[in-house]
Amino acid sequence: MLPLLTALALWGTLATPAGTSKACPACSLLGNCTERTCPAAKEACLFSQMQLENGTVIKNGSCVIPGECREGVYSLTYGPHWSLWVSTACCEITCKGATRQGL
């Protein structure tokens, strides 16, 4: 049986210096990411990652209003040897990913 998700480490970045724009990753399903500049009204980045049991990680980010950014970690087991987890993090400037840590 594959080990279950036990912990996630989420990394944020330092606050944005005055006069600079926030950036958020825009990722394809193949995992190729580019930085997208956020508009001034949306000063937070909601970065999401979903890891499938086979190890595939699907990730993406979107620019949001700071009050709309909700962090969290969700794990779903839907059958023997089948599970996935989703993590969301709020960050500024650029987002760092979450790391799956085993037992």
Average pLDDT over residues 21-26: 75
Q: pLDDT at residue 102 above 60?
A: no
Domain segments of the chain: what residues? 23-91
What CATH code would you report for 23-91?
A: 2.10.60.10
For the chain, percent of residues with pLDDT exceeding 70 = 62
- Residue of 55, 5, 6 whose CA lies nearest to 31: 55
Task: Give how far Cα 59 sits from Cα of 16, 18, 41, 52, 103, Å.
Answer: 23, 28, 23, 11, 24
Average pLDDT along the chain: 65
User: What's residue 27's pLDDT?
Assistant: 78
pTM: 0.54
Cα distance between residue 9 and residue 81, in whole Å? 23
Residues 47-59 have a mean pLDDT of 79
